[in-house]
Structure 1
């Protein structure tokens, strides 16, 4: 089947087998290897991406279901060399160890913050409960999500400007450690 999908701002038209999972299309046909294959059963959340602005586990969506849609992967979050505020907060708060769950955690956290821009600890725990981490114990992840929420608030001051739009040196140092290129 022929599909047309916009991924990270670029429009692609490709032929795919009807049974191809979105995660495999992203990784194998488009080279978006920041989207990780974890369990292939939708339990772990490592493959979470945004489909038309909402988080989905890409191992549970067929590529043909994304036809005509916009997909954002963790690789599409940074702008002009500057990490997304959630990516930056994960880096600043050491919210990763092995990094395998990080792309999905970041994508789910962005969706959570879109729905609840000021989550307490319990809201963060509930918001990421479909994403598993085997290394961190979640404390730093929760801290990172709340830190990102603080920096993403309108009028959060110069720190928000740094995180949202300008500290190139921090972005360069952190780019490889916040879910943007694992294989």
Structure 2
């Protein structure tokens, strides 16, 4: 399930999860025991830019949501793109803590594109990808997946940078 920046994602999930039995049944049928999540962010006053999700608020909201789906989800993998780099490790630690609390496996879902671009997204720089992977390793993530491999990391992508990113990844991890 992805909560794709819906303005009322918490309310949406809460409505879905009014009854634990209904929620568990729905999740078992629709997500086959996996949960990939995209967190919402807040707007910064005055400049209209997005602000990272506050870690404490993230923990409170998702603790409640995961409690409602307890037993219906085996793996969760939050996308990391709405979190500033300086908050990433703390964010991943919270995700791991919540996953452990609800007996779920916790993966990281790394966005392999760069949100720092003013016009359109481009493949992420190798150093940023490595930083994200290292934060995930230190936080105890059990596995890593990437959002949008085909466009931003595949050697077959229209972006030349994607092929280079893939090559650097393979060289680094000796694949």
Both structures adopt the same fold (TM-score exceeding 0.5)? no
Greater RCO (CA < 8 Å, at least 6 residues apart) = 1
TM-score (norm 1): 0.25
Higher strand share: 2
Larger of the two Rg values belongs to structure: 2
What TM-score do you get using the length of structure 2 for normalisation?
0.26
